[in-house]
Each structure stands twice: as C-alpha cells, then as structure tokens.
Amino acid sequence: MSDLWQRGNALSCQEQVIDRRVDLLRGNADCLFSALLAALRHRRVQRRGVEVPAMRCPQSLIHRIVRSAALGAFIFYLAWNVAWIAHGRIPPSILKAATGIPCPTTGGYRSFLALCRGEFVQSILYNPMTLVYLSLFCFSMGVLLLQWIRRQRLVLRPLIAWLWCASLLIGWAAKFALGRQYW
C-alpha cells in the first residue's frame, strides 16, 4: 500500500484511483516504471495534484540486459576492428558497411590531419564538424573529470547531451550535402 493509504488521509475518488494504479505498478513493472522516470529525469511524477514517488530497483533485469547488450556491442566493435587490421586494412565504419550510410564522424581523422597541415578547405570537406566535435569532446571530458574529482555521479547534463545530438545530426546533414566523394 502507498503512503497515502497508510496515513489515513481522506482522499478523493480520483486520488484513490491513482493510488490504486500506482500500487498495481509494483512488482515486475516497478523496474520499468523506474527506468522510464529515470530516463525522463524526473524524481516525482505529478498527476492531478497527487505526487507519486519514483520507485528504485537496484540491479534490475533491464539494467543487466542493457549492460550485456552494451558489452556485446563493444566486443563486436573490437572484433570488427581487429579483423580488418589483421588483414592490413583500415576498418570501415560498421554503419556504412551495413547500410551504406556514413556516420556523422566519418572523415574526422582525415579532417583533423588536414587541419594540422593547414589545409583548412580540405579539412572542412572531409568533415565540417570536426572542430565542433573536438570542442564538445574536450568540454564533456572536462565536466566528467570535474565530477569524478568531486566524487559525484558521472553523468553529462541534458544540455550537453542535446548539443551532442544536434551536432551529430548537423554533421550527418553536412555529410550528405558534400557528396559521396568525401565519405
């Protein structure tokens, strides 16, 4: 039972219905609900004047599945790169190899090398967002390092995450606009 029922407050019909719905979420669904709330970055859900506390589920099945999938993807990525390097070739992007579509960061290394040589036009043609990605990377690492020094949880702020998403989408649009010769 929820705290509202245990306190014995007089509740309206709507509040009682909402409270019963929250009680139904407990069990297997509380982990899903908690994950959803965490993804939305809300500590409490407010519905018609009634605050429903967010439920926490330590090391739930979802967390284990996500971690296992991430580990599997990382192992596949390493195996992909090792296989190409073992054959003496530079590994192509997995996304480009699977779909033919370039990653937004494709050409970033060539762009950075051209920038270091002073070939600014060629650098922009290889990847016009290289400086933006490099700046965002340094800023993100600085924020995470500061959080680590302060012994805080290592999480990027939503604004930084949105900046990453926006820059990657703009980079993708720029890759398509420049044409296949720079993929």
pTM of the entire predicted model: 0.56
The residue ranges of every structural domain in the chain are 3-53, 90-182
Residues 54-91 have pLDDT tens digits of 445 556 888 889 889 999 999 999 999 899 999 988 78
- Mean residue pLDDT of the chain comes to 77
Mean pLDDT of 25-45: 47
Work out the widest C-alpha separation in the chain, in whole angstroms: 74
Decide if pLDDT at 159 tops 90: yes
**CA pair distance 72, 68, nearest whole angstrom:** 6
Decide if pLDDT at 28 tops 50: no
In this structure, the number of other CB atoms found within 10 A of the CB of residue 155 comes to: 12
pLDDT confidence of residue 130: 92
Min mean pLDDT across 10-19, 31-40, 74-83, 99-108 is at 31-40
Q: Which one is predicted more confidently, 177 or 53?
A: 177
The three-state secondary structure class of 180 is helix
Q: How confident is the model at residue 107 (pLDDT cuts 50, 70, 90)?
A: confident
**CA pair distance 92, 98, nearest whole angstrom:** 10
Percent of the chain with pLDDT over 90: 39
User: In Å, what is the CA distance from 36 to each residue of 4, 52, 54?
Assistant: 23, 14, 10
Decide if pLDDT at 19 tops 70: no
**CA pair distance 175, 169, nearest whole angstrom:** 10
Percent of the chain with pLDDT over 70: 68
Mean pLDDT of 31-38: 50
